[in-house]
Structures are given as C-alpha cells and as structure tokens.
Amino acid sequence: MTFSSPIFLFVFFPLVLLLYCIAPGIRTKNVLLMIASLLFYAWGEPFAVLLMLFVVLFTWLCALIAQKGGTARSIAVAAGVVGNLGVLAVYKYAAFFVQTCNDWTGLSLPVPKIALPIGISFFIFQSMSYLIDTVRGDAQVQKSYFRLLLYISFFPQLIAGPIVRYQTIADALEQRQMTVTQTAAGFRRMLLGLSKKLLLADMLGVIADAAHNAGDSLRMPLAWLGAVCYILQIYFDFSGYSDMAIGMGKIFGFTFDENFRYPYCAVSITDFWRRWHISLTTWFRQYLYIPLGGNRKGKWRTIRNKWIVFFCTGLWHGASWNFILWGLLNGFLMTVEQLLGITEKKGGRFRQICTHGITLLLVICAFVLFRAETLPDAAVFYKAMFVPAALTNGAISACTHYLTPLICVTLVIAVICATPLPHMLYQQLEKRKPALAEGIGYAGTALLLLLCMFNAASTSYHPFIYFRF
C-alpha cells in the first residue's frame, strides 16, 4: 500500500483520519496511530513488522541502560549502534558483500537470499539518531516503548522519510491538537505531493524508462531526453512523497522539517546537497561528518571526511556499485569545488548562471549512474550521450515518438515547477490582489484534486522510487 494507491487514498487514510478525530484523548490517538502504522507496514511487509518491533525494543532498552552512566552507558551505546547497523548490513548488504567477495576472489560462497524490508534504511537511521541524541543530551529518553514505536513507525514518514529526529516531534507525542487551519494546510500539502507524483513523475518516468531500456539501440537524442526526464521524475517522485508525509503529519498535529529546497536551482554540487534530501544530508552531517572532525582539522581532513560521507551516502541508497560510484562521484565533485574555491556566494550574476548550468549538467550525468541497473548499462548510456553517432532519421524519430503534446506540456510544467517561480508569482499576486489569489488557489486545488482522483483510479500502480531504499 502506497500513498498514491486507491486503497490508501480512498479507504485507509480516510478511515484512520475519521477514527483519529473521534478518538478521545492523546493516549488513545497515539495508540490508534501506532496500530494504523503497523497495519500500513504489514500490508506489504508482514514479516518486517516483527523486525521493526525488535529494532525499536532493542534501541529503547539500550537508551534506558545508557542513562545509568559509567561502563553501562558505553556498552549500551556501542551495542545499540552496532546492533542497528548489523540489522541493516544483514538485510541490505549481505548478498552484495558475498557476491563481491566471490567476484574478486574466485570463491563460490553461497549468496544469501534475504528479502529487503521496505524503508529499512529510514527506520534504522531514525532509531540510531534517537539513541545517539539521548546519550548526547539533545533529547530526553522516552520511557514508553509504545511512544517510541509510534515515533519510528509513524506511517507518513516510515517508508521513505523524511528522516525525523526524535526531538522534532517529542513534544507532539505528549500533547498536540488539530486545528482547521492546520488541517487545511496539511491537505493542500498532501494534494501537492500527490499531484507531483501522479501528474508529473509518473508521466516523465515513461520516457526515462524507455531510454534506459533501449540498450545498444539508444542514440544521443533519446539518451539526453531520458536523462533530463529522469532527474525531473526522481525529484517530483521523492519530493512529492515528502510533501505528502509533511502534509499528513500536519493533519495529525506533527511538524516535520522540509526535505527539499529547489535542488535544481543550485549553483554548485555543494549547494545541491544543501537542497536535496535534506534530512539525509543532515543525518550524515550530525552523526558522521562532524564526529569525524568536519572541516575543523585542515583542508585534507575535510576532503577525507567528505569522501567518507559520500561513500556512505551512496551505499545507503543501495547495495550496488552504481550507487557507491554515484556517491563517490558527488564527493569528488565537491572536492574539486573546494580545491578550486568555487562557492555559490562568489561572482556576479553571469558567473552564477554559468555555474548553475554546469551544476545542472553534472547532476544530470551523475544520476545516470543512479538510474542504471548495472555499471555496463551506465556505460552504454554514457556512450549514447557523449559519443557522436550518425544522426539518422530513426534516431530522431525514436526521440520525437515520445514527445507527444501531453508530454511536451508536462515537461514544460515540470521545469517551471522545479523552480520557485510559481510560488513567487503567487506570493506577489497575494500581496496585490488577495481575493483573486484566493480564488485561483481554490480553483487550482479543486482541479488538482479532480485530476489526481481520475489518475489514481484509472492508471496502473507506480511505486515511489525511494521505497526500494
């Protein structure tokens, strides 16, 4: 069950919301949300619910023991971190490590076939952040196992984030309220995210998939079109999920931090990572980059720390050399920027336009590694993008075949919506003609709602891309 599926939109979420509204008291509401979250996860991952219950119990006990101080504190923290990472390593990386060992050594070790629980990277990272923050004194230890379980399993952000730090919602677990204004804002944010997914990401994904599935027949026009469509697809897919999670959290009285800030407007790779998947970047900065020394111990230590962080970032996304190289490529590009002294604050308007164009080109090329199934597939795609071949009528028609009027309109809308321009224009209209802006807002909301309902009910299921992480 996913946020864009009819069963979620028309049955699960309305039913949970109805029961939540009539449930008396915060304790009953918390129990309801906890049960709903476990049912939501069990819908697609029945066995993984037990794993998550164990992870939460283990982390809860480690945090309680760590409060005793002394040797118990050190042992509990070490056990908690190693235990959480161990669960992630077994379920996500064991097969990859064994297969890599076989490939490099010529051995024939049996490769374990372990089903990957959906969203395991997200709930493991939340579990670890809770434990570390309580030990650091950044958050209070949660005495109730069930409240901690709700924090980690809360269905809006369970499957694909954003990764929420415990102290962000600790107070809301104890006391919160629903207001008409907050609920309306939550529904609008949820509808915006659903629109991004159904009306933009899924449409553009058709072209991205066609390009990546073309194999050796792929030529330059379709390769570049597919690469551009993919960066738009993954942005609207993932930011759409984050919008829906933030909106649903708001409806139930929780506030989550933003996860995206127009990343394709970045003027450097460093700037891009301040805008893209912010909750993951923040997690690695707080729990890996800064403990390693951050940028406090000289240029070369800073570079080393960045490479470690982006190696882990790539590995976090998946047990594949594609993801590892994608992460290392980002680390390399950030290293080049640091050595050349390139920052988003330097230079005039013309220089910023140039650096923005270069950054966007690098992001497009890097995401080819992210999307390709294997390294040979990525090599074939890069060859089509950069090695000149005869521009035959067939190569051109293979590209124009997908550029239907609907796709062209979708592309234009996607490019515009990937910038802050629509939001800025609406803000200006609100200042000058608030009544007109309000009317346009209501009409736009109604139109998006109708389009999303029609799309959700009539098209095939497309899972969110980040579900596999």
Q: 328-332: which pairs have CB atoms within 8 A and are 24 or more residues apart?
A: 329/366, 329/369, 330/269, 330/273, 330/366, 331/306, 331/307, 332/307
3-state secondary structure of 12: helix
Candidates 317, 401, 423, 462; catalytic one: 317
3-state SS class at 150: helix
d(CA 109, CA 114): 15
User: Contact 37/155 with Cβ under 8 angstroms?
Assistant: yes
Six token digits for residue 454 = 């029609």
Sequential DSSP letters for 70-89: HHHHHHHHHHHHHHHHHHHI
Copy the structure tokens of residue 54. 């164990």
Q: Which residues contact 248 (CB under 8 A, 6 or more apart)?
A: 13, 155, 156, 186, 190
Would you state the torsion angle of the CA atoms of residues 207, 213, 216, 217, taken in this order, to the nearest 10 degrees? -40
CA distance linking residue 218 with residue 214, whole number of Å: 5
Active site residue 462: no
Tokens describing residue 21 = 């509204």
Give the HSE-up count for residue 38: Cα atoms under 13 Å, Cβ half-sphere. Answer: 16
Q: How far apart are CA 138 and CA 132, in angstroms?
A: 9
With 0-12 CB in 10 A as exposed, 13-18 as middle and 19+ as buried, what is 55?
A: buried
Supply the residues annotated as catalytic. 317
